Chain A
């Protein structure tokens, strides 16, 4: 059964044909995606957010932890565009650097959740006897609301950026694993999988080359949501004091610093709040766009008009 030759490869002309069709489909998909107004707006917001984070060192007018006791709680001015906090630190600089923390946590959580979710989801569906074991375990985790679980874990592990990432990954993995499991279950019943098996492809090849490659799109959509939720959840954790410890700036802990001064120095809490709101809006718009484009029923509905 273990034929190691390449009879699985299709004749060259057919392969070229398949590749071309695939490219065409992808181009059409991207065109539709960027033609979708809310996706485009969301994408631009997120791009701006990302660029701010990447260019923080150059964009921020001051160091994010630079203390100036002569400018405590200074209102927005030409010198400090968004004012200063109780340490005389420049809010603009802190917000800019804060986006870096959000983005870093968002990316790590997406990558880790993606890996964990894919491994667990695929194992659960591909290795039958593991299914019940893994899924019941994940159901147990899912019994807790995601953010609440993350808060509990972060509080138990202690405040640090790494621990916040771990906590969020644990909180978001079960849902992702479910999505992966569901689509792998569908894909692995496809005829081409059977065909691959028939020509003697090994488990590794079947899983990576055929099953996962075809089960990826729901995962990508899921991960964009994980990214969005991570940014909010990181802000929540930091606000509660279980995110990155001081003096590191993060959108959540800047707001936390400002909450005692809402009446005297509204700018501390308001500006990072606006940034979070806009970032979340951007991610939601992107998510809406993706859903519209990917959901065949909605597309049919619109095309029918």
Chain B
């Protein structure tokens, strides 16, 4: 709090305010806020981004960084509606077979080139090949360039949910320069249109991005809105530091070496709740805690056995421990209070911890002590902790549950095998956020369902869901989906967990979201 510092801070604030006032033009100046230009902010996360080629990965560790560098035509607003970001808008024909996207003009890539419809077509064609969720473009028969700032999608069939799935940030269909269109996965020049641009990536150490001074802000908005809106980068640089050890992350935050901890351990959060140096940001709900069973191998190929697992589990104990206390009980496959919430369907099977009934069902299933192997990993702490509690509870009803704890990449490859595992603990973060289509897509064909063997009835319901014309129709379908989930007991919903984030008190403007938005954030003092 030395006077010179204050002065320079104020000086910078005035400069920024006047720049803003000039650039804001007719829209009126948001100069009342004391944003500070400059500075270097450090965000810490637990693992390396698998790729900085945003299309090819659906990993949170990548998204955290990539969504500051890249943008999509459409993306979700704060209240999860598709809004145009790089697009000016879209016109959908009455028969639902043509989508005409108009592009914003004057948007510059990090290499200084202007984005045109050629880039858009090239990017989306690349997405069809390398995109981690390339099937979201399956409803699109052809992408046609119909003007320098206009692209037309010709659809295979009307797909009412297309714009939502197209806007999904899970593995975002970002727009990159046409020159990168032929690049293999992970081989692009990492150029996007976002408010920050790539500087360097040192694996196991950090990723650095810097402000893109020629960023073309979306002036249709007054401020940030979800993945879009009017974005203003204040920071000179943002460093995403990789620190695997949660204790070390917290220590670095307390020491002031880092500014934001992307996932804060709850005991540390409780300890620091009153600290004047630390601000806590609670995100609730953030993810589904789920337990997926392998329908391809005994004993989990038997629906009676799976029902026994469902009724044996005491969800409250699993959630309290796996989330370290930041959770809500929820049997549903959507969050309470959202459009597709299906009410009490299935609640009678949830959070029972009923040993007697589980043992009856096991006897009915003819279970005779076969090994029940639970696949899990320590890298996402909720996974390993949930597995330990689940194993203990299943052992309690006489199931021979053992834990196979391997590192996260290994777990991901084992669960793609048809055999060798019975149960798999998984935090589903982005899917429930995307709504019912995003969630159920992971449990049905054409993707490989998390529970390995597709259920034809669930598959049919999914098709019905994505082609339902009105919201009411889709809600009704989703209710039947949830009912089906509690008939096949293939994936077990444990509960909803929250995400605690923490920042230094001098970090201003940070609003927690599905990724740490580094625009409209500044450092005070």
Footprint of B on A, CB under 8 Å? 65-67, 69, 72-73, 86-88, 158-159, 241, 245-247, 259-265
Q: Give every chain A residue within 8 A of B321 (Cβ-Cβ).
A: 67, 69, 72, 86-88
Is there an interface contact between B271 and A72, defined as CB atoms closer than 8 Å? no
Is there an interface contact between A73 and B405, defined as CB atoms closer than 8 Å? no
| Chain B binding surface, main DSSP class | helix
Is there an interface contact between B316 and A247, defined as CB atoms closer than 8 Å? no
Is there an interface contact between A73 and B267, defined as CB atoms closer than 8 Å? yes
Which stretch, B219-227, B278-286, B385-393, touches the partner chain A?
A: B385-393
Q: B250 — nearest CB in chain A belongs to which residue?
A: A263
Q: Which residue of the partner chain, among B265, B267, B403, contacts A246 with CB atoms under 8 Å?
A: B403
- Say yes or no for B245: interface residue by CB 8 A criterion: yes
| Given A245-B403, A263-B247, 20 other A-B residues pairs in contact with their CB atoms under 8 A | A67-B321, A69-B317, A72-B320, A72-B321, A86-B321, A86-B324, A87-B388, A88-B321, A158-B406, A159-B405, A241-B405, A246-B388, A246-B405, A247-B388, A259-B245, A259-B247, A260-B246, A260-B381, A263-B268, A265-B267
Q: Which residue of the partner chain, among B245, B270, B316, contacts A69 with CB atoms under 8 Å?
A: B316
The docked-state distance in angstroms from the alpha carbon of A66 to that of B388 is 10
The docked-state distance in angstroms from the alpha carbon of A273 to that of B389 is 25
Is there an interface contact between B325 and A264, defined as CB atoms closer than 8 Å? no
CB distance from B352 to the nearest CB of A (A): 16
- Among A86, A241, A265, residue most surrounded by chain B Cβ atoms (within 10 Å): A86
Q: Give every chain B residue within 8 A of A247 (Cβ-Cβ).
A: 388, 391-392, 403
Can you report 15 residue pairs joining A to B where beta carbons are below 8 Å apart? A65-B392, A69-B316, A72-B320, A86-B385, A87-B388, A88-B321, A158-B406, A159-B405, A241-B405, A245-B405, A246-B384, A247-B391, A260-B267, A264-B267, A265-B267
The docked-state distance in angstroms from the alpha carbon of A241 to that of B406 is 9
Please list the 4 inter-chain residue pairs (A to B) with the smallest Cβ-Cβ separation, ordered nearest first: A264-B267, A69-B320, A69-B317, A260-B247
Q: Which residue of the partner chain, among B270, B378, B392, B404, contacts A264 with CB atoms under 8 Å?
A: B270
Q: Give every chain B residue within 8 A of A265 (Cβ-Cβ).
A: 267
Map CB proximity to A onto B244-265 as digits: 1 under 8 Å, 0 otherwise: 0111001000000000000001
Q: Which residue of the partner chain, among B267, B320, B378, B388, contacts A261 with CB atoms under 8 Å?
A: B267
Q: Give every chain B residue within 8 A of A261 (Cβ-Cβ).
A: 247, 265, 267
CB distance from B71 to the nearest CB of A (A): 36
Q: Give every chain B residue within 8 A of A259 (Cβ-Cβ).
A: 245, 247
Map CB proximity to A onto B398-441 as digits: 1 under 8 Å, 0 otherwise: 00000111100000000000000000000000000000000000
The docked-state distance in angstroms from the alpha carbon of A274 to that of B271 is 25
Q: A63 — nearest CB in chain B belongs to which residue?
A: B392
Q: Give every chain A residue within 8 A of B406 (Cβ-Cβ).
A: 158
Q: A85 — nearest CB in chain B belongs to which residue?
A: B321
Interface residues of B in 216-245 (CB under 8 A from A): 245
Q: Using A245-B404, A259-B247 as known contacts, say yes or no to A72 and B325 having CB atoms under 8 A apart.
A: yes
Interface residues of B in 357-379 (CB under 8 A from A): 378
Q: Which residue of the partner chain, among B247, B250, B389, contacts A87 with CB atoms under 8 Å?
A: B389
CB distance from B277 to the nearest CB of A (A): 15
Q: B392 — nearest CB in chain A belongs to which residue?
A: A67
The docked-state distance in angstroms from the alpha carbon of A209 to that of B324 is 62
Is there an interface contact between B268 and A264, defined as CB atoms closer than 8 Å? yes
